[in-house]
Amino acid sequence: MAWRWTARRILVSAFLIFHLTATACWVLPNCPIKRQFFSAISYYMFPTGTWQCWSMFAPNPPADILTLEAVAVDAQGMRHGFLFPKIADYSLWEGMARYRHPKFAANLLLDEYTETRRFAARHAVRKLGMAPDAFPVNVHLVYMVSKIPPPGSPPGELPAAPLPVTLASFQFSTQSEVLP
């Protein structure tokens, strides 16, 4: 019985060391250590929703509402749109499990997340279910940017119409490039 307790403690300790190391590498400024481990760590950080970014804090918190879309143009010139999910798209219970998702779109603005943009474009193409004969596919990640009404605005005032801003563009020659 004592060996089970010891094994459990070792497993929990190993997980905590891994998690804290991954988090520490993630929050490092853009440096060689972060660039070395970012790709490997992202396979743990993104699905668990434990990744983070400091841009949401003072002195300059975001003043825009960002929604992320992908526009894919296939080999025949057909346009396919993919809207990345928003918390408002889910019920209260579904949204509680996804409360970290809005950070994903906002963090793609940072230069250190260029590889993550490719990850998002690949995801959009997979979700669109494009057939192998649709390749090559050009994917454009587009932000729809709406200004947040300033403090003191009348209640219920809607933000201005969103403006499209292209974040990045990618070309995938074959379907195998977008598969996990």
Split at pLDDT 50, 70, 90, the class of 171 is very high
pLDDT for residue 35: 83
d(CA 75, CA 78): 7
Helix (H) or strand (E) holding 123: helix 114-128
d(CA 86, CA 45): 19
Residue type, 147: K
Return the closest-CA partner of residue 149 out of 141, 160, 138: 160
Higher-confidence residue of 2 and 71: namely 71
Return the closest-CA partner of residue 71 out of 180, 176, 169: 169
Split at pLDDT 50, 70, 90, the class of 101 is low
Split at pLDDT 50, 70, 90, the class of 112 is low
- Which residues on neighbouring strands pair with residue 137, listed in sequence order? 172
* pLDDT tens digit sequence for 125-170: 999 988 888 889 999 998 888 777 777 777 766 667 788 888 889 9
Helix and strand totals (H; E) in the chain: 5, 4
| Residues above pLDDT 70, as percent of the chain | 81
* pLDDT tens digit sequence for 32-74: 888 888 888 887 887 776 777 666 565 666 677 778 889 999 9
d(CA 38, CA 33): 8
Per-domain boundaries in the chain:
1-52, 53-180
Does the pLDDT value for residue 175 go beyond 60?
A: yes
SS3 145: strand
Q: Kindly tell me the burial class for residue 129, based on how many C-beta atoms sit within 10 Å of its own C-beta (0-12, 13-18, 19 or more).
A: exposed
Please give the DSSP secondary-structure letter assigned to residue 180.
Answer: -
Mean pLDDT, residues 91-119: 71
d(CA 25, CA 45): 11
